[in-house]
Amino acid sequence: MSSTASIGDRIRSLREFRDLTQEQLADRAGVSVDTIRTLEQNRRQSARINTIRALARALDVQLERLVGQATVTQQLSTDGGLLDLRDAIQDIGALPGVPTSDDLEDPPTESQWVASVTDADTAYWRGDYSRLSGILPLLLRDGRAVARQTPTERVWRQLALAYQLAACLATQAGHPDWAFAAVEKQLAAAARASDPLMEGMGVSTLSWVLLRQGRWEQAQDVAVRKADSLEPRFRKSTPNEYAVYGNLLVAAATPAARRDDREEAMSLLTTAEAAAIRSGPVRTYGTAFSVVDVRTQRVNIALAGSAGRPEDALRYSGDVQVEDISRPVHSASFRVDVAQAQYQTGDAEGALETLLEVERDQPEWIRFQALAAATVREMLETERRRSTPLRSLAARLGVEPLL
């Protein structure tokens, strides 16, 4: 399908491919037939993000594909990039009976390789996807070689973290099938490290991958079950135990909200915040956990589901001090949520200002965020006067101009 096709063209093409009538698609997605008809006739170029999410799920397609959002693969594939990462994740040398070339002649030392994993982790949370996509394939290959030479628990733990980064980048790139394979290897490495907390982070990553695949019930279930198995004994537990447990609860909350179980989502976040109070700010296992990290998710949860509550989202955002968010990408993601809430409550000017601020801070990261593109597309459709800053932002995000 052409990248210049409208969202209505994509909906019609996917609907016809799946042999669905407009009425059947409307019933599956829980939206009105008139909404689908209007989009397919290109009388509207966009819809509310929750409507688009519902249509994407009903059509069994990723949100990014439905809105025509550029992916990391499209941006970086000229230099190998994510295609090399795919080959590193889907390692044919690990398959039984498949002949392969000799191992690396001179793999790095354990300390050198562990330092490289730390560097890659920093690049991910800074949103430096270009650099990360270039270094991750070799990092995985080196890691497997190091694990063969010195199979210590420390090496296996770091190899699990490397696969976690690969899963996260592949998911951001719009390839959850690659990410699923990376999570499998993350969990296998965590088991070799005899580290249940790294296994917990693997399940948290798996939950996110399942969420992006539209498998919301499974995404919630695996995270809740793993959290239950790791629930801390409150007088004897370490900050790391609280952090992994809380991350799993946060992971479960998002799919719960997408399934319109907002009460359960908020209950999960309340328990996660209690864990964050006990743990204090923690950076561990390739992630960060604190009270502010949990509170940012309340904003996201308020916008999720078939009937988002942008007023609640803005109210929750008042409990978040942006400067306390330790990860640049997480800060940017929170502010994109705020921008959507601003727009949905009638503050288009504030939403644009917020998005431009995010772009200044994360010019690469924002290009791959479907929510940011969808919000800009909505703003273009409803603008009363031509806005040069808005149209310039749309062009940089790859949002097609309105006809």
Q: pLDDT tens digits, residue range 200-225?
A: 999 999 999 999 888 899 999 999 99
Residue 126 lies inside a defined structural domain of this protein: yes
Count of domains forming the chain: 1
Looking at the domain assignment, is residue 153 inside a domain? yes
Note whether residue 209 is domain-resident: no
Q: Looking at the domain assignment, is residue 146 inside a domain?
A: yes
pLDDT at 188 over 80: yes
Tokens, residue 280: 């204090």
For residue 38, is it within any domain? no
Decide if 237 is inside a domain: no
Q: Rounded CA gap, 79 and 73, in Å?
A: 10
Query: Who contacts 370 (Cβ-Cβ below 8 Å, separation ≥6)?
Result: 63, 64, 67, 69
Q: Is the pLDDT of residue 10 over 50?
A: yes
Mean pLDDT, rounded, for 173-198: 93
pLDDT digits (tens, 9 = 90+) for 363-391: 988 988 888 888 888 888 888 788 888 98
Distance, CA of 263 to CA of 376 (rounded, Å): 30
* Token pair belonging to 203: 């399940």
pLDDT, mean of residues 305-330: 90
Question: Number of C-alpha atoms within 13 angstroms, CB side, residue 168?
Answer: 24
**Percent of residues in the chain assigned helix, strand, coil, to nearest 5:** 70, 0, 30
Q: What is the pLDDT of residues 136-167, one digit of tens each?
A: 998 998 999 899 889 999 999 999 999 999 99
d(CA 168, CA 176): 9
| Mean per-residue pLDDT, 269-273 | 96
Q: Does residue 375 sit within a domain?
A: no
Best mean pLDDT range from 98-112, 241-255, 366-380: 241-255
- Tell me: the pLDDT tens digits for 321-361? 999 998 999 999 999 999 999 999 999 999 999 999 999 99
Whole-number mean pLDDT of the chain?
86
Does the pLDDT value for residue 67 go beyond 70? no
Q: Give the range of the structural domain holding residue 181, as residue numbers without chain letter.
A: 72-191
The confidence band for 89, taking pLDDT boundaries of 50, 70 and 90, is very high
What per-residue confidence (pLDDT) applies to 191? 96
Dist CA 391 CA 402 (whole Å): 10
Residue 78 has a pLDDT of: 40
- Residue 185 falls within a domain, yes or no? yes
C-alpha–C-alpha distance, residues 161 and 120, integer Å: 10
| Residues 246, 92: Cα–Cα separation, whole Å | 35
